[in-house]
Amino acid sequence: MNFHFPENPEVKVIPHPAPHLFDGLFKYCDVIEHRGAFGEIYQQTDTGIRNEATLHHFKFGSSANAYLNLDEPAIYLSYINEGRLDARHEHLGELWQSFRTCSLWYLPAGQHIFEIGSGNCISVKVKVSLQSIKELAKNHPELHEFYERATTLNPEGWRLPYLAIGQKTRTLLRRLNNLTQIGPTRQISLDALLDELLLQFIQDLDKTKTSGNDTYQYNEEDIEAILNARDEILHRKYHNIPIPALALQFGMPYRKFSRYCKKVLHITVADEIRLKKIQSACELLVKTDNSINLIADEVGYENHSAFTRAFSKTMGCTPSAYRRHHRESNRIKHDADT
């Protein structure tokens, strides 16, 4: 699942053969780096006999369209190991995963365009072919129903609600990161790990639906209301409306709205608004010469201190440091081009 960027002809492709010194990436897998006006992305693909795993490290200072070409339909498990990913796909909708969450997508064959926002994020995508799921279902009856859903739902693409990543899944992802075998042995080990990740996801999904400790149910109308509310937030229509009023706007009591948001989105509405503000601030820091105070005001913070605290908590650095880093990166790219 490697992205390419035909809308950005200035992009430079830089290979980094394994072994490499990058932190957080697959240790014994080649790295392909793409550098452009939007920032950088480091991509790795580790291929088994039946399945494959792709790691993406996004370092985007601004948004960009990333293209993906698929030869066959497939199921993807998407895990966020670090940071947060904001993206959009025509049929999958808003893809707004945060740290230690997982989502499952179905994508048909053909070309797909992902609108990826600014930010710093490491994600792992596990591609499981429909044939692999069919074979696994022979020994795992719980996959029969899942295979039927995968082959009968919207053929243009769909996704399931996000799940929190549990301890078993984190252990499997660490094993994936540290895989040391090479050749056919590596392919066999990789396929076994990716099968385990799929089965663990199905188990976690079933636990979420049937947990006796939570009265939450997957009510489609309520989920649709929450997703619609989030889309409105992302488009900045309700930044200054109190959350209880926002809940009523979408026909739900405040407590129910907040509980369902946390369950479906794995993030509170308040945190969602904060993250969108910080994302907008990142673009203003990179694309304009506005002062930090002015940017803080533009994205809805009362003062410089509150903005800096929120920015540092989300991005891991101050607004000034973020701006310096991206300007220095752009200067280096410009010098290299000339």
List pLDDT tens digits, range 117-131. 888 899 999 988 777
Domain-ending residue, one of 161, 185, 210: 210
Domain-ending residue, one of 158, 182, 210: 210
Summarize the chain as % helix, strand, coil (round to 5). Answer: 45, 25, 30
Domain-ending residue, one of 152, 181, 210: 210
* 182 and 150 within one domain: yes
* 163 and 29 within one domain: yes
Share of the chain above pLDDT 70, in %: 77
Look up the CATH number of the domain holding residue 172. Answer: 2.60.120.10
Q: Is the peptide bond before 9 cis (omega within 30 degrees of 0)?
A: no
How far is the first Cα of the chain from the last one, in angstroms, to the nearest whole number? 32
Is 21 a member of any domain?
yes
The confidence band for 42, taking pLDDT boundaries of 50, 70 and 90, is very high
For 177, half-sphere exposure in the C-beta direction (CA atoms, 13 angstrom radius) is 16
Is 1 a member of any domain?
no
* 164 and 224 within one domain: no
- What is the pLDDT at residue 155? 66
pTM of structure:
0.63
Cα(71)–Cα(240) distance, rounded to whole angstroms? 45
Count CB-CB contacts under 10 A for residue 163: 18
Q: What is the pLDDT of residues 59-114, one digit of tens each?
A: 998 889 999 998 888 888 999 988 877 888 887 777 776 788 888 888 888 899 99
- What is the pLDDT at residue 46? 92
Tokens for 56, please give them.
């993406």
Which residue shows structure tokens 């993250």? 275
Q: How many domains, the chain?
A: 2
* 179 and 77 within one domain: yes
Q: How much is the average pLDDT of 24-30?
A: 85
**3-state SS class at 210:** helix
The confidence band for 337, taking pLDDT boundaries of 50, 70 and 90, is low
Cα(161)–Cα(93) distance, rounded to whole angstroms? 12
The answer to which of 7-21, 48-62, 219-233, 279-293 has the lowest mean pLDDT is 219-233
Nearest-CA neighbor of 56 among 89, 78, 28?
A: 78
Q: What is the pLDDT of residues 150-198, one digit of tens each?
A: 666 556 777 777 788 888 999 999 998 888 888 888 888 888 888 888 8
* 189 and 43 within one domain: yes
The answer to which of 8-12, 22-26, 57-61, 209-213 has the lowest mean pLDDT is 209-213
Is 194 a member of any domain?
yes
- What is the pLDDT at residue 33? 94
Degrees (nearest 5) of the Cα angle 247, 249, 252?
45
Is 2 a member of any domain?
no
Q: What are the CA-CA distances from residue 134 to residues 54, 182, 189, 190, 294 (Å)?
A: 22, 27, 20, 18, 56
Q: Which domain holds residue 47?
A: 12-210
- What is the pLDDT at residue 215? 45
